[in-house]
């Protein structure tokens, strides 16, 4: 049977944003194709970003847990794993995810086209096959969901076997003795946790004055302390002058005059939207200097029939938000408007060791806005569930309005923080008087649980009111 060449909508990219859009459109009865440049679906999220890094982190944190548990360490020697060992765990997760996602397209009769797409004219794309040949497809509308990739400055040689970015680090075949991580954003901090957990000497170069400065200051300070305590060397406010890679190591020269040396370098400073190979000039679109596309409230680009979602439109660059954006685009295309929109307070999950998660305002933002807030705190070391699990590092902080008792922000540090945050987020998202810190005092939680942190923190905060 001859392959269809015209569709109602063509989605370019099969990551979370593309999948959300394609599923929404096919379920609404439209004739949809999704084009994917790799040989399996899932995008950067599944293959190089979110899924592999979290799988690596999970494996490392379990090793740390085993080695620090007195029951196990008394009766056996420490468990050691190489980077390759934990990579094999990540690969099994990636394979499961890929099969699952492939099944979504098959079940919903969404045409999957593998190859590299670029625009030829307003309603036409060419898809390059591995042998170099081109296939042409047309559509009434397009959704660009091509994601992002690690930023690579021209003066750093990423072809050198000792220089990696956050994609290529997944092909690291050995465990280095020491590593320099340049860039202390979310990705840099997560990999610093992973390598330090594998007993690799880790130097973390931060181009800013504090770690993850968008976080509440106390949380950022807690992460810095735990990094320092585990032996990670952090250098704040530094920028590289040049990177010198040789057969036996990498030397990074900093503008401050310092020099640092390690077995390898992980450059993790910034990302770029994947728009450069799409030939967007053919349709009259120009991305900004970071490869991002501008959109309106309906996720339409300047060209009316072309939409964009996910990392390629910039902030918030989260897999969770990209799924939602894809769903909203499908609604906009089908009905002319979306039923809902992206929530204002998107939770942040940072999978360092220990984990960090927050939602809403920080203390600094509330102080600057002169909002009269109070703080309720709970320390994990006082919770029975944390003591049972041996996970007593961490805390929960609730910020709430002194007069209305409305919850304004929640900041959590410690194991399972990204799960714990959702309990508070659910109450915070309620409108009017339903968003009230007293909910946590008046509700009976399971005991012993980590959720009890909310009751403890709420009582602690309410006791401060006078």
Q: How far apart are CA 163 and CA 165, in angstroms?
A: 7
Would you state the pLDDT for residue 403?
Answer: 96
Q: What is the pLDDT of residue 374?
A: 98
Cis peptide before 329 (omega within 30 of 0): no
**42 marked as binding residue:** yes
| Angle, helices 50-68/83-107, rounded to nearest 10 degrees | 140
Please check if 292 is assigned to a binding site. no
Average pLDDT of the chain to the nearest whole number: 95
Q: What is the average per-residue pLDDT within 340-344?
A: 91
Residue 362 has pLDDT above 90, yes or no: yes
- Note the pLDDT of residue 431: 87
Average pLDDT rounded to a whole number, residues 366-383: 98
Condensed to tens digits (0 to 9), the pLDDT of residues 118-130 reads 999 999 999 999 8
Which pairing describes strands 271-273 and 111-114: parallel, antiparallel, or unpaired?
Answer: unpaired
Q: Is 39 annotated as a binding residue?
A: yes
Q: What is the pLDDT of residue 2?
A: 58
Residue 77 pLDDT: 77
Provide the CA 156 distance to its chain's centre, in angstroms: 25
DSSP code for 402: T
Does 317 carry a binding-site annotation?
Answer: no
Dihedral of the CA atoms 233, 63, 54, 271 (nearest 10)? 20
User: Does 238 carry a binding-site annotation?
Assistant: no
Residue 421's pLDDT is 98
Q: Judge whether 44 is annotated as a binding position.
A: yes
Q: For residue 179, what pLDDT is reported?
A: 98
Q: Report pLDDT digits (tens) over 201-217.
A: 999 999 999 999 999 99
- Check residue 212 and give its pLDDT: 97
Alpha carbon distance 387, 384 (integer Å): 5
41 labelled ligand-binding: yes
Q: What domains sit in the chain, N to C, each tagged with a CATH number?
A: 6-148+272-335 (3.50.50.60), 163-269 (3.50.50.60), 354-462 (3.30.390.30)
Give the per-residue pLDDT at 226: 97
Task: Tell me: is residue 38 an annotated ligand-binding position.
Answer: yes
Closest CA to 119 of 295, 293, 283, 6: 283
Across the range 210-228, mean pLDDT stands at: 97
Is it the case that residue 1 has pLDDT exceeding 60?
no
Assess whether pLDDT exceeds 60 at residue 299.
Answer: yes
**Model pLDDT, residue 69:** 81
**Residue 218 predicted with pLDDT over 90:** yes
What are the tens digits of pLDDT across the range 64-118? Answer: 988 888 877 676 778 888 899 999 999 999 999 999 999 999 999 999 999 999 9
């Amino acid at each position: 049977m001859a392959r269809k060449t015209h569709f109602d909508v063509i989605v370019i990219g099969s990551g979370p944003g593309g999948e959300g859009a394609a599923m929404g459109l096919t379920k609404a009865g439209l004739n949809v194709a999704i084009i994917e440049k790799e040989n399996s679906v899932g995008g950067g999220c599944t293959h190089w970003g979110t899924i592999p890094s979290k799988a690596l982190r999970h494996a490392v944190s379990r090793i740390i847990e085993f080695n620090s548990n007195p029951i196990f360490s008394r009766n056996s020697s420490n468990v050691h794993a190489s980077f390759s060992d934990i990579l094999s765990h990540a690969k099994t997760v990636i394979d499961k995810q890929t099969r699952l996602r492939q099944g979504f397209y098959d079940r919903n009769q969404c045409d999957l086209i593998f190859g590299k797409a670029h625009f030829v004219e307003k309603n036409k794309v060419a898809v390059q096959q591995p042998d170099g040949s081109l296939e042409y497809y047309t559509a009434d509308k397009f959704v660009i969901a091509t994601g992002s990739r690690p930023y690579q400055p021209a003066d750093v040689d990423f072809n050198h076997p000792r220089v990696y970015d956050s994609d290529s680090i997944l092909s690291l075949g050995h465990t280095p003795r020491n590593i320099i991580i340049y860039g202390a954003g979310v990705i840099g901090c997560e990999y610093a946790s992973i390598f330090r957990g594998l007993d690799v000497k880790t130097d973390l170069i931060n181009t800013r004055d504090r770690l993850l400065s968008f976080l509440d200051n106390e949380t950022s300070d807690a992460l810095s302390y735990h990094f320092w305590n585990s032996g990670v060397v952090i250098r704040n406010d530094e920028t590289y002058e040049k990177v010198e890679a040789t057969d036996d190591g990498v030397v990074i020269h900093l503008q401050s005059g310092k020099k640092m040396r390690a077995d390898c370098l992980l450059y993790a400073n910034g990302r770029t939207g994947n728009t450069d190979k799409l030939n967007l000039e053919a349709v009259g679109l120009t991305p900004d200097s970071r490869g991002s596309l501008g959109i309106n409230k309906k996720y339409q680009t300047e060209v009316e029939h072309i939409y964009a979602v996910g990392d390629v439109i910039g902030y918030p660059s989260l897999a969770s938000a990209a799924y939602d954006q894809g769903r909203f685009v499908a609604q906009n295309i089908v009905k002319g408007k979306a039923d809902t929109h992206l929530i204002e307070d998107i939770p942040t999950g940072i999978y360092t060791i220990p984990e960090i998660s927050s939602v809403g305002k920080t203390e600094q933002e509330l102080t600057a806005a002169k909002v009269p807030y109070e703080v309720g705190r709970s320390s994990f070391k006082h919770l029975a569930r944390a003591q049972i699990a041996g996970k007593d590092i961490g805390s929960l902080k609730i910020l709430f309005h002194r007069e209305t008792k409305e919850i304004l922000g929640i900041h959590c540090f410690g194991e399972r923080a990204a799960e714990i945050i959702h309990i508070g987020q659910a109450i915070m998202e309620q409108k009017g008087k339903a968003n009230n810190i007293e909910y946590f005092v008046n509700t009976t939680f399971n005991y012993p649980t980590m959720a009890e942190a909310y009751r403890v923190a709420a009582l602690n905060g309410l006791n401060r009111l006078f």
